[in-house]
Structure 1
Amino acid sequence: MRRTQRSVAIATALAAATAPLLALASPAAAESTKATHSTQTVQNLPLDWLSLDALSGTQLLQRVKELLGKGYVPQALSVTNAANPQYTSVWIKDATSKVNVLQGLSATSLPKTITEQLKAGFQPKLITGTGTGADAVFAVVFEKTTQLAKSQLSMTKETFAKVNAEFTAAGFSIASLDVYGTVEKPLYAAVWVAGAATGSVQVTLGQTVEQRGQELLAKAKQGLRPVAMAVEPGKLITTVWSKGSTTGLKEYLSLSKLTYTLKSTQLKALGYQPEILDAEGGTISSIWSKS
């Protein structure tokens, strides 16, 4: 596809991505363009959220302008289907960080964009990608912060494991993770930030929904909870785990879009909001928490 770069600079506090259905009985709660910029700071707004599923780039930009005017900022963003990019996102009302959100980026233009943003004081906060090679499409959220961050794209599983070990040893921990490419050759895009995690961080790669459900129960017994999650091509799941209680979490893996929409309505009525979200291959996986 021929892509255009579009960017929107917004004020926000950022976090994770989308995915489908798994109900687990566990303490972790599992039931189961030419870039143009605009900036807005949101002040003293009550906490609220909404989810937008499968929007085109144009539709997303339209909603961005609308939601900014209502005091919403993006908390999660996921892109899927490189031939016709679809964006799933979660928005909350917040009043803290200033961010730039860029979409429709290629694997060639993204490194240059990251360099340009760094010069302006914006660190990568979240990277999401879909597709492979010259046809891969990315969207990125950058945050203006003094906290150091490192990012890397197009990593094989082996390279990701090596880089993650090196960055972890240097005091960085994973803040964002996405997997794109193909079933035969998954590629990893990640962001690490200095000193973000509490305690040891573990990563499990390429698990089926069933394996992932068992892993959740095992990690919960170790006092670990999911802090980032990505659905790979082939609907396998990669998860980042860190110290924390799973009490009050509900997890749903490999949900259809319709089921996700229905589940969102139910959970919102119960006081939950999506904490982690990722979309891939027509399905959505998410982890919810209750304040």
Structure 2
Amino acid sequence: MSNAKKVAVLTAAVATATVPLLALASPAMAAQPATTAQTVQNQPLDWLSLDALSGSKLIQRVKDLGGKGYVPAALNVTNAANPQYMTVWIKDAARKVNVLQGLSVMDLPKRIQEQAAAGFQPKLISGTGSGPGAVFGVVFEKTTQLAKSQLSMSKETFTKVNTELAGAGYSLSSLDVYGTVEKPLYAAVWVAGGVAGTVQVTLGQTVQERGKELLDKAKLGLRPVLMAVEPGKLYTTVWAKGSSTGLKEYLNLSKLTYTVKAAQMKALGYTPQILSSEDGVIASIWSKS
């Protein structure tokens, strides 16, 4: 991979708190056909949503956007053979973050240690591929909040570690699933504090199962706070207490329909809260304050 050893670093002014991206969703809706050529990037923005950039293009966007006071609120990498990065950026000149891409499973633990020594903790981790060919992108944030991260977890290991850390006062702030359909692997970040109250995780659901789960969880007063599209076009979701007012969820989007939907949501006053992609499928959750 030509980008495997490249590292993009963004440093911009920042708040120290690292908390989960909170979102609540309405039932999944089918993507509508394209009705406009206008993209989200063409509009006046408080946030930017960038499609499928290569590692080298991501490096340049990091430099450009960092200089304008933007920081990534979402980062997702797909296609280990030719890594493509999707990002959502928000205007927040108070935060200080570093963005690294093209990292191998051997590189990432070393980078986490290096960043920790400089006062940066992992905030978002996204992975794609399997074995020694897996590729990662990471957002680190300068913060005093305690954080723990772990890679290459099986479903059973993730469940065990998540239960143990929840009991120790940590909550999930980032979760992604990579690997293969037969052997999904989990990369997660937990932070001290964060989401209060009941937290539940559902793993490996189909679109139909996920849609039903959304309705069932809403009846219990739970909302999705993290979501990952995993190999096989399955969905893993983290649920926590919260209201569904002002939230919309879209599953099974293509790159084209996501771009169109993002423009529509922007025009309606929504902002993206969650973004995940794998196997050519994009899923997103939007909120309107």
Amino acid at match of 1:30: P
2:19, 2:172 → 1: CA distance?
11
Could you give the per-residue CA deviations for residues 58-101 of structure 1, whole angstroms, max 9, x where no partner exists?
A: 11111122222322211100000000000000011013321111
Shift of 1:178: 0.2
Structure 1 pair 251–235 and aligned structure 2 pair: CA distance change class (3 A): same
> Is the Cα contact below 8 Å between 1:16 and 1:77 reproduced in 2?
no
User: What are the Cα deviations for residues 89-141 of structure 1, in whole angstroms up to 9, with x where unaligned?
Assistant: 00110133211111110000111111111111111111000001110000111
1:53 counterpart (41, 51, 54): 51
1:281 CA displacement: 1.0
Please report how far the alpha carbon of residue 263 of structure 1 lies from its aligned counterpart in structure 2 after TM superposition: 0.7
CA contact (8 A) 1:157 1:186 kept: yes
Query: What is the CA–CA distance in structure 1 between the aligned matches of 2:141 and 2:68, rounded to whole Å?
Result: 20
Kept in 2, the 8 Å contact 1:229–1:239? The answer is yes
Which residue is equivalent to 2:149? 151
Aligned residue runs from structure 1 range 6-21, under 5 A: 6-11=7-12
Q: Does 1:176 align with 2:174?
A: yes
Q: Structure 2 CA distance, aligned partners of 1:173 and 1:16?
A: 8
Gaps of 5+ in 2: 30-43
| Aligned partner letter, 1:204 | T
Native 8 Å contact 2:27 2:215 kept in 1: no
Partner of 2:34: none
SS at match of 2:144: coil
Match of 1:30 in 2: 27
CA distance in 1, matches of 2:28, 2:203: 22
Q: Return the letter of the residue paired with 2:206.
A: T
TM norm structure 1: 0.88
| Cα separation, partners in 2 of 1:129 and 1:28, compared to 1, 3 Å | closer
TM-aligned CA distance change 1:80 to 1:187, over 3 Å: same
Matches within 5 A, 1:1-291: 1=1, 3-11=4-12, 28-30=25-27, 32=29, 48-291=46-289
Q: How far apart, CA to CA, are the structure 1 residues paired with 2:52 and 2:8?
A: 18
Structure 1 residue identity aligned to 2:26? A
Q: Deviations over 1:200-251 (max 9, x none)?
A: 1100000001110111111111111111001110010000011111111100
CA displacement 1:126-166 (0-9 Å, x = unmatched):
10000011100001111111110000000000000000000
1:37-71 CA-to-partner distances (Å, cap 9, x unmatched) read: xxxxxxxxx98011001110111111122222322
Equivalent pair of 1:30/1:249 in contact (CA under 8 Å): no
Q: Determine if contact 1:231/1:238 at 8 Å carries over to the other structure.
A: yes
Partner of residue 20, structure 1: none
Task: Output the CA distance in 1 between the equivalents of 2:60 and 2:143.
Answer: 27
Secondary structure class of the residue paired with 1:116: helix
Q: Return the alpha-carbon distance in structure 2 between the equivalents of residues 30 and 60 of structure 1.
A: 32
Query: What fraction of aligned residue pairs are identical, expressed as a percent?
Result: 72
CA contact (8 A) 1:16 1:126 kept: no
**Alignment-mate amino acid for residue 271 of structure 1:** G
State the AA in 2 paired with 1:246.
S
Say whether the 8 Å CA contact 1:15–1:75 is kept in structure 2: no
C-alpha RMSD over aligned residues: 1.8
Instruction: Output the CA distance in 1 between the equivalents of 2:6 and 2:174.
Output: 21
- Inter-partner Cα distance in structure 1 for 2:245 and 2:192: 27
Counterpart Cα distance in 2 of 1:65 and 1:118: 22
